[in-house]
């Protein structure tokens, strides 16, 4: 197998996408709920890799490079730990080749 054209790094992958970052986050995670969550599905299911588990069992979340797909809130096992919304109008991801 030819590994030379293997995969790009995740940062590189995301650098090709146009994100217009809003001032206000459109995702807010209640990490108190996350501490009792055993699966933490959002961490690996999020295609933009926005959720990072912390050593204390909580979740560190980002919103800047979000695809606004909705996977995280649909997959959230901890009840409603993730309050999710769309970014303000005109902000957020802009696909050119979608």
Partner 1 sequence: MAEPLRPLVVALLRWTDARARIDPLSGEVETDPRGAGPSEADRCALEHALRIAEAAAGRCVAVTLAPEPAEELLRDALACGADAVLRVDVPSWDSRVPDSGATTARALAHAIRTELGEPSLVLTGDHSADRGTGSTPAFLAAELGCAQALGLVELSYADGELLALRRLDRGRRERLAVPLPAVCSVEPAGLRLRRAALPSTLAARTATIPVVTGSVAAEPVTAHAARPFRPRAKELPPPPEADPRLRLLRLTGAHEHREPPRVVVTDDPAEAADELLEYLRGKGYL
Partner 2 sequence: MRDRAGPASSAVTVAEPERPQFDAIVVGAGPAGSAAALELARAGHSVALLERGPFPGSKNVYGGVVYGRILDELIPGWYDEMPVQRWVTRRQTMLLDGERSMTVDFRSQSWGRAPYNGATTYRAEFDDWLAGHAQKAGAVLVPSTVATRLLRTERGRIVGVRTDRPDGDLTAKVVIACDGVNSFLAKQAGLFPGDQAAHTTLGVKETLALPARTIDERFGVSGHEGVDIEMLGCTQGIPGGGFLYTNSDTLSVGLVLGLQGLAKSGKRPEEVLAELKRHPSIQPLVRGAELVEYSAHLIPEGGYDTMPQLVGDGLLVAGDAAAMCLAAGIWLEGVNFAMGSGMYAGRAASKALSSGDLGALREYRGLLESSFVLADHKKLRKAPELVLSERVQQRYPGLVCDLVELMFTVENPKPKPGVRKLLRASAKRNGVKMRELARDALTGLRSFG
Rule CB under 8 A: which residues touch partner 2? Answer: 1-2, 5-8, 10, 12-14, 16-17, 20, 24, 26, 39, 41, 44-45, 47-49, 67-71, 73-75, 80, 83-86, 88-90, 92-98
Which of partner 1, partner 2, none does residue 26 bind (CB under 5 to 8 Å by kind)? partner 2
Sign of CA dihedral 38, 14, 27, 25: positive
Write the DSSP string, 20-57. E--SS-SEEE-HHHHHT-SS-HHHHH-TT--EEE-TTS
Which of partner 1, partner 2, none does residue 23 bind (CB under 5 to 8 Å by kind)? partner 1
């Amino acid at each position: 197998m030819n590994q030379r054209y293997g995969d790009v790094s995740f940062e590189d992958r995301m650098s090709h996408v146009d994100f217009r970052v809003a001032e206000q986050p459109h995702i807010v995670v209640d990490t108190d709920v996350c501490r009792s969550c055993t699966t933490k599905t959002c961490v690996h299911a999020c295609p933009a890799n926005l959720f990072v588990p912390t050593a204390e069992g909580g979740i560190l979340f980002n919103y800047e490079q979000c695809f606004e797909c909705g996977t995280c809130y649909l997959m959230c096992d901890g009840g409603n730990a993730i309050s999710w919304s769309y970014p303000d109008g005109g902000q957020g991801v802009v696909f050119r080749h979608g």
